[in-house]
Chains A and B, each alone.
Chain A
Amino acid sequence: MHEIIICKMKNRVGVLNRFTGLLTRRNINIESASINSTPDNKAVVAKFKIQVAKAHEREHLKRVIAKQIDVLSVQWDDCKNDLEFEHAIVK
């Protein structure tokens, strides 16, 4: 099943590298992504569409992402189809 991670991170060099590294290490492909900075430019909001096969791996990944120093908040959503993802991006 696809899922969307919506991750608010500090707006600084290298945050995405560290974040995507966590996915690379677990052989998780990013199928779609969008990244925008917040109006005050202090943070970025990144949305990724990924697939995680096993429920407990998903749970672990969630916590590993949440504990990154640069991650301010993280939200996961089921994504039943692409349209929903696009919708989430627009939102």
Chain B
Amino acid sequence: MLARREVKEQDGVHTVSTGSDVLLGILKQQGVELIFGYPGGAVLPLYDAVYRQAFNNILVRHEQGAVHAAEGYAKATGKTGVVFVTSGPGATNAVTGIADAMLDSIPLIVFTGQVGCDSIGKDAFQEVDILSMTAPITKQNYQIHELDNFPKIIEEAFKIAASGRPGPVVIDLPKDIASSLPDDFGDEKLVISEEHSVQRTRNVDESMMLKISEALLKAKKPLILAGGGVLAANAVSELRKFVHRFDLPVISTLVSLGVMPDKDFLFLGMGGMHGSYQANMAFYECDFLLNIGSRFDDRLATNAAKFAPHAHVAHIDIDASELGKVISTDFPVVADAKDALSWFLSNTEQMPKGEHVQWLQQLNDWRKKHPKHYEEQEGKIKPQAVIEEVGKLTNGDATIVTDVGQHQMWVAQYYPFKRSHQIITSGGLGTMGFGLPAAIGAKLAAPEKEVVLFVGDGGIQMTVEELDVIREYKLNIKIIILNNKTLGMVRQWQDLFYEKRRSQTVFNGQPDFIKLAQAYSIKGLKLSPQHWRETLADVFAEKESVLVEAEIPALEQVYPMIAPGQPNQAMMGVD
């Protein structure tokens, strides 16, 4: 049994088992090794238990950082990230991260402190109705009112966060519950509906799967879109086996980069607004599109009505509400990507390889004719070149974290991703400030991995306080600021669509980023246009964090680009 009231004496200190101790006990049972959090009045009892139990809490410097760090941790491991924040401002500071996790389907449990049960509803100090606030941005949320059902709720929350389509769950914990001395939790069994109880849920619809296989293999121009669902289901090897069995070309989304190795001849790159030429042309020309685990986001299917106009569309997703949401689907299947791909693998062995050599030839021609490219500029450091160089220095195997903006898109285009859990980026919400804390979470999750953060001069300033966590825990993260001295991505849109009226996007002066790093006892250095490659090589030989500033041309654009609302084949910046 988890916890009964108990008073122990250890080294002369009285140890009391409270609701908070029970909570930590359940977390340990769930395999939680560390949490990200920040204390405050309402979570005093919780942090007292953390202290007494020497639970591993990573003390962030802002609650937004706690949630993004937990997201980075979850993304790097596939495990559920856990966050503790206090009530009121602690909870509201966590909201951005919770929304981010919701849109990118990241499993999180966020415990928010709450005022005591008797004070709720009385505008007590630091009381907010976090349940109402987070209802639309959580998979589920709870407020604990009775100790009895406390363990049950936490276990249920863990199941819900990680099962089906993963997502965040908020548990609001009133202070009196956290500090109460439980007698007994009863032995009530955990009851949870079948649907939420197992990771991989249903059997696939075999007749539909058969139809898809036949249509896919008969198609003259077949195409696979492999989204984040493939990574979430750990189905990367199944996908690779399947597409190689039949030579099926694959496009990734931003968040699923790594699903295919960059070098693979079947991989066309990322599709969408800043996707590759061949990927977007393939969307336009294909006659059969199989989407596995992507939600046809508007940054991918930039004009839903004109998307893949010649194709029959099959869509496999664990979340039934994604089917037909954006693109109408001829072949909808509700299934976990791993189940679906395993089904394909075991049921298509005897099927003949389709005849689409010409299609592969066409794709290759497009790739050759319009490769990604950028122009070198005398005496300037190009962001794309920096990313390529980092790709070489890290052998394409580093965990790559980005913030949001132009640099994020250049990283997506130029880093040679090759494995799952490799890109950690804010896709759905596009949250500036995500990068630095997420990199911390990723590093703590897998210390043996090289972690590189690419961040803009704007975004770094949104969560810069987390540099102190890097200092405190002596983490080795390579931070590369691609400094264009502007809010580059917004500036790009202003230049293209608002006649270059650069309203509020050009910084009038900046902090000295190198000194800023030094203030946190982190090595900082600025790349020189002459010797930047050598300097970068030295940086990656270091065993500790280095913040590198690369001054890049202010007006560099991200191309190709599809203007919002235009169809995928209407790419700008392709010559």
Asked whether B324 is an interface residue with its Cβ less than 8 Å from the other chain, the reply is: yes
Q: Is the CB of B324 within 8 A of A59?
A: yes
A-binding segment of B28-36, B51-59, B138-146, B553-561: B138-146
Q: Which A55-84 residues have C-beta < 8 A from chain B? A: 56, 59-60, 63-64, 66-67, 69-70
Asked whether A25 is an interface residue with its Cβ less than 8 Å from the other chain, the reply is: yes
Q: Is the CB of A69 within 8 A of B136?
A: no
The one of A17, A22, A63, A66 in contact with B132, judged by C-beta atoms closer than 8 angstroms, is A17
Query: What is the CA–CA distance of A69 and B139 in the complex, to the nearest angstrom?
Result: 7
Query: What is the CA–CA distance of A70 and B325 in the complex, to the nearest angstrom?
Result: 22
Query: Which A residues lie within 8 Å of B324 (CB)?
Result: 56, 59-60
Q: Is the CB of A56 within 8 A of B136?
A: no
Asked whether A39 is an interface residue with its Cβ less than 8 Å from the other chain, the reply is: no
Q: Is the CB of A14 within 8 A of B328?
A: no
User: Count the A residues whose beta carbon is within 8 Å of the partner chain — how many?
Assistant: 16
- Nearest chain-B residue to A22 (Cβ)? B136
Q: Is the CB of B131 within 8 A of A66?
A: no
Query: What is the CA–CA distance of A56 and B325 in the complex, to the nearest angstrom?
Result: 7
Q: Is the CB of A18 within 8 A of B321?
A: no
User: What's the least CB distance linking B381 to chain A, in Å?
Assistant: 44
Q: Is the CB of A69 within 8 A of B321?
A: no
Binary CB contact string for chain B from 107 to 143 against chain A (1 if under 8 A, 0 otherwise)? 0000000000000000000000001100110011101
Q: Is the CB of B135 within 8 A of A14?
A: yes
Known: A13-B143, A14-B141, A21-B136. A63 touches B328 (CB 8 A): no
Q: Is the CB of B135 within 8 A of A67?
A: no
Asked whether B372 is an interface residue with its Cβ less than 8 Å from the other chain, the reply is: no
Q: Which B314-334 residues have C-beta < 8 A from chain A? A: 319-321, 323-325, 328
Give the interface size bracket for B toward A: 10 to 19
User: What's the least CB distance linking A13 to chain B, in Å?
Assistant: 7
User: What's the least CB distance linking A15 to chain B, in Å?
Assistant: 10
Q: Is the CB of A69 within 8 A of B320?
A: no
Query: What is the CA–CA distance of A60 and B321 in the complex, to the nearest angstrom?
Result: 6
Binary CB contact string for chain B from 321 to 353 against chain A (1 if under 8 A, 0 otherwise)? 101110010000000000000000000000000
- Nearest chain-B residue to A62 (Cβ)? B321
Query: What is the CA–CA distance of A59 and B326 in the complex, to the nearest angstrom?
Result: 11
Q: Is the CB of B160 within 8 A of A69?
A: yes
Asked whether B196 is an interface residue with its Cβ less than 8 Å from the other chain, the reply is: yes
Q: Is the CB of B143 within 8 A of A69?
A: no
Q: Is the CB of B320 within 8 A of A63?
A: yes
The one of A18, A22, A25, A69 in contact with B196, judged by C-beta atoms closer than 8 angstroms, is A69
Known: A14-B131, A63-B323. A25 touches B136 (CB 8 A): yes
Query: Which A residues lie within 8 Å of B131 (CB)?
Result: 14, 17
Query: What is the CA–CA distance of A69 and B132 in the complex, to the nearest angstrom?
Result: 16
Q: Is the CB of B328 within 8 A of A56?
A: yes
User: What's the least CB distance linking A25 to chain B, in Å?
Assistant: 6
Query: What is the CA–CA distance of A2 and B139 in the complex, to the nearest angstrom?
Result: 29
Q: Is the CB of A67 within 8 A of B319?
A: yes
Q: Which B149-168 residues have C-beta < 8 A from chain A? A: 160
Query: Which A residues lie within 8 Å of B140 (CB)?
Result: 69-70
- Nearest chain-B residue to A13 (Cβ)? B143
Query: Which A residues lie within 8 Å of B319 (CB)?
Result: 67
Q: Is the CB of A17 within 8 A of B135?
A: yes
- Nearest chain-B residue to A72 (Cβ)? B193
User: What's the least CB distance linking A1 to chain B, in Å?
Assistant: 20
Query: What is the CA–CA distance of A8 and B160 in the complex, to the nearest angstrom?
Result: 19
Query: What is the CA–CA distance of A56 and B323 in the complex, to the nearest angstrom?
Result: 11
Query: Which B residues lie within 8 Å of A18 (CB)?
Result: 135-136
Q: Which B residues fall within an 8 A CB radius of A? A: 131-132, 135-136, 139-141, 143, 160, 196, 319-321, 323-325, 328
Can you report 15 residue pairs joining A to B where beta carbons are below 8 Å apart? A14-B132, A14-B135, A14-B141, A14-B143, A18-B136, A21-B135, A56-B328, A59-B324, A60-B321, A60-B325, A63-B320, A63-B321, A63-B323, A66-B321, A69-B160
Given contacts A14-B135, A70-B140, 9 further A-B contacts (CB under 8 A): A14-B143, A18-B135, A56-B324, A60-B325, A63-B320, A66-B321, A67-B320, A69-B139, A69-B160
